[in-house]
Each structure stands twice: as C-alpha cells, then as structure tokens.
C-alpha cells in the first residue's frame, strides 16, 4: 500500500495506536501537539538525539528495515546509558520517499518498538515528511538520573583505570562482510550481462553470524549500568563507543584534561573479528580502535575500584589515565608506543 493512499495522519495512527505507556514520567504521549512529561522529583532529565541518513549511515540493499529501526533506537538509548541514566521516552521523525510503502514503515516501526519494549521506553511523538533523498530517521531520546549518579566525560583523573565492555571491532567487520558480499553480487551481475536478472545470488555468511548481529542488531549496555550500581561503583567518566575506541578515548582525555596509556594486548576481541580481519587483510587492532558502531561503554574508575570492576562480567581494564603532558598512547605487544589519532566522521 502506498503511503499516499492513506495519508500522513492515518499512517501515524497505524504506527502508534498500539503503543502502551510504561513510564510514570510520561503524562501524555502520542496524540497532541506535544508530549507531556512529568520529571521525577530529585532527578535530572537527559536528552540526546541522533540523525541517520540513507546512503550515509545505512544501506537498505542489505540492512532489513526492522533491524534498522531497532538499531536507530539503540544508538540513542546507548547515549543515555553512557550518562549513567535510564532512558524513558523517545520521539521519532521520519523523512520518507515515494518508494516506501505503508508496510515498509510499519516494519521499520516494528524494530523501533521492539527496542523500546526491551528497554521499557515509551514512544511519545514525532513527525513524518516527504523526502527527495530516500529515508531519513531522526530520534530524540529522553532519560533521567539522580544528580549524584550522572556521569560526564570530564571527570577522569590521573591514575584512573580505563575500562571497556564487551568486545571491539565486530560491528565494523560485519559491515565489511556485508559490503564484500554486495560487491561480489554486483560483479556477478556485470559479468552476466543481459542475463543479470537471472542470477540467484546467495551471500556467504557461514561462521560470521556474530559479526552480522553486531552490525545489524547492536545492544545498548543497560546491564553494565545496572552492574556498576549494584557493585557500588560510580564511574568518573563515561562515553559510548559509536565512533571507535580511539575517538572516544580522545573525547574523555580532552574533556578530562588527561592523557592515557592503553595496552594492545588487553583490547577485547572476538575470535570471528580476528579471523575476518585476517581474511580481508586488515589489521584487527586498527579495526578495534577505529571501527565504530560497537555501542559498548568506555569508562574510567578510581584505581581503588580495580578488584570490584574486574569482577563484573564483560568488563575489561585496558589501561589507565595519565597526566595530559604524557600524551594519549597505545602500547603495542612489543612495547612500542603509538600516539592515538581520532578517526571519526569528517566532511
């Protein structure tokens, strides 16, 4: 069904009519000019937004719409968790070209709702508009935290331990795998010439399922925020890893006015990541440091918390903060020192 057949208002009704409010701070959700939120007494409100553009942030030739919706929400919730907060609501704005049907948008929303239900987050509003350039997704997430619990990027100090959750580089390897199979497909079509439409192409993802999951369906680390609170640990600084470990370390060091020492041998890597990097003739450490989209948490804790933080599953100490004049350094397995460089988004 084309969107024009039912119009914007009917589309919004179809997407939102089954949404159920989960948070007491949501006084009024979808259906009015504004959502109405009632902040909890004694808590601070956290707000973040993320913009995803087709052709820049995702490729619909291999990204299912349901997975895209899920990932778009997770990217925002991860930012709230990185402040040591709890996400409560999101608003969703979509730019839609004519090639998208009502069923396409419902599939995208199904992924968004799945992420929201998993993290007990309410969809409380948004907007839709026509687009001349494909699909645009803009999500704003709203959360809260007690004032004493909020963690900024600027609180790290000399000798603090640098910790990271999960493993690194797998999402980037998943992207490289998808891009490789896409290139093979188009190469086969070119070689087939007039018979290109007859090609039955089956991508080879065997043994690489974890890499695909990390790229297409990442998870925000709510479990780590809860584990830290249970252990009585309040990080001194924290950030989520969306642009790559190196870039995020640079953010923490710059805003905390520190340097750092990170050890290559301590970087957490999954076996599939290492195998895929070797297969593609790529340096796995470069992938781990600069790949991005891991949505793991990078945080610092005082040296005195070493035993407690090391006991938390899925957390690894990878180095420590230093005085700023000592620089931001990666120490290789053979003891060589390399200055960290940010490899984030550039115009």
Tell me whether strands 259-263 and 315-322 are parallel, antiparallel or unpaired.
antiparallel
Banded pLDDT at 346 (limits 50, 70, 90): low
230 occurs within a structural domain: yes
284: in domain: yes
Mean pLDDT of all residues in 115-123: 97
For residue 293, what are the domain limits? 161-174+211-339
Q: What is the DSSP letter of 158?
A: T
pLDDT of residue 187: 86
Residue 256 maps to a domain:
yes
Same domain, 166 and 88: no
What is the dihedral angle through the alpha carbons of 36, 41, 42, 46, rounded to the nearest 10 degrees? Answer: -20
Placement of tokens 């948008």 in the chain: 105
In whole angstroms, what is the distance from residue 100 CA to residue 76 CA? 24
Q: What is the pLDDT of residues 228-282, one digit of tens each?
A: 999 999 999 999 999 999 999 999 999 999 999 999 999 999 999 999 999 999 9
Using the predicted structure, report yes or no on whether residue 211 has a pLDDT greater than 80: yes
Question: What total number of domains does the chain contain?
Answer: 2
Token digits of residue 32: 């009015």
- Token pair listed for 79: 């930012």
Residue 224 in domain: yes
For residues 283 and 328, membership in a common domain is answered with yes
- Residues 235 and 102 placed together within one structural domain of the fold: no
| Contacts of 31 by beta carbon, 8 Å cutoff, 6+ apart | 16
Confidence class for position 32, pLDDT limits 50, 70, 90: low
Of 80, 89, 76, residue with least CA distance to 37: 89
Q: Do residues 170 and 288 both lie within one domain? A: yes
Residue 35: pLDDT over 90: no
- Has residue 347 got a pLDDT over 50? no
Q: Are residues 169 and 299 in the same domain?
A: yes
- Residue 220 has a CB neighbour count (10 Å cut-off) of 25
Q: Is residue 169 a part of any domain in this protein?
A: yes
| Alpha-carbon separation of residue 240 from 1, 81, 144, 152, 295 (angstroms) | 39, 8, 17, 11, 6
124 falls in which pLDDT band (50, 70, 90)?
very high
- With respect to residue 33, please indicate whether it lies within any of the assigned structural domains: yes
Domain co-membership, 168 together with 230: yes
In a domain, 205, yes or no: no
Q: Tell me: do 139 and 230 sit in the same domain.
A: no
- Are 49 and 98 found together in one domain? yes
Longest dimension (CA), the chain: 68
My answer on whether 250 and 309 are in the same domain is yes
Looking at the fold, whether 116 and 78 belong to one and the same domain comes out as yes
Taking CA atoms, 222 is separated from 91, 124, 218, in Å, by: 20, 21, 12
CATH number at residue 101: 3.30.1330.10
Token readout for 160 is 């603090």
Give 343's pLDDT tier (boundaries 50, 70, 90): low
For residue 247, give the CATH number of its domain: 3.90.650.10
SS3 50: strand
Are 116 and 232 within one domain? no
The pLDDT tens digits for 287-331 are 999 999 999 999 999 999 999 999 999 999 999 999 999 999 999
Residue 116 maps to a domain:
yes
Tokens of 7: 């119009």
Same domain, yes or no: 168 and 266: yes
Using the structure block, give the residue that is written with the tokens 């610092």. 300
pLDDT at 93: 97
């Amino acid at each position: 069904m084309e969107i024009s057949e039912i119009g914007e208002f009917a589309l919004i009704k179809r997407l939102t009519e089954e949404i159920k409010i989960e948070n007491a701070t949501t006084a009024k959700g979808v259906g009015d000019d504004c959502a109405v939120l009632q902040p909890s007494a004694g808590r601070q409100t956290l707000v973040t937004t993320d913009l995803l553009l087709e052709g820049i942030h995702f490729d619909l030739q291999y990204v299912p719409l349901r997975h895209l919706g899920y990932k778009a929400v997770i990217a925002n919730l991860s930012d709230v968790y990185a402040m040591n907060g709890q996400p409560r609501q999101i608003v969703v704005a979509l730019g839609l070209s004519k090639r998208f049907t009502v069923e396409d948008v419902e599939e995208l929303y199904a992924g968004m709702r799945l992420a929201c239900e998993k993290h007990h987050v309410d969809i409380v509003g948004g907007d839709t508009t026509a687009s001349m350039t494909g699909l645009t997704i803009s999500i704003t997430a709203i959360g809260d935290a007690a004032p004493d619990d909020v963690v900024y990027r600027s609180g790290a100090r000399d000798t603090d331990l640098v910790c990271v959750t999960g493993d690194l580089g797998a999402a980037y390897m998943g992207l490289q795998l998808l891009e490789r199979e896409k290139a093979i497909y188009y190469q086969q079509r070119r070689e087939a010439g007039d018979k290109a439409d007859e090609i039955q192409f089956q991508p080879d993802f065997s043994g690489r399922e974890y890499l695909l999951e990390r790229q297409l369906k990442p998870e925000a680390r709510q479990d780590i925020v809860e584990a830290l609170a249970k252990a009585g640990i309040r990080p001194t600084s924290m950030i989520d890893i969306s642009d790559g470990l190196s870039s995020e370390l640079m953010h923490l060091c710059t805003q905390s006015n520190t340097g750092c020492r990170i050890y290559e041998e301590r970087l957490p890597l999954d076996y599939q990541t290492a195998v895929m990097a070797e297969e593609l003739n790529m340096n796995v450490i470069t992938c781990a440091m600069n790949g991005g989209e891991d949505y793991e948490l990078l945080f610092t804790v005082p040296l005195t918390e070493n035993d407690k933080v090391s006991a938390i599953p899925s957390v690894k100490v990878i180095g420590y903060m230093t005085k700023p004049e000592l620089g931001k350094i990666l120490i290789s397995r053979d003891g060589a020192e390399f200055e960290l460089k940010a490899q984030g988004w550039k115009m």
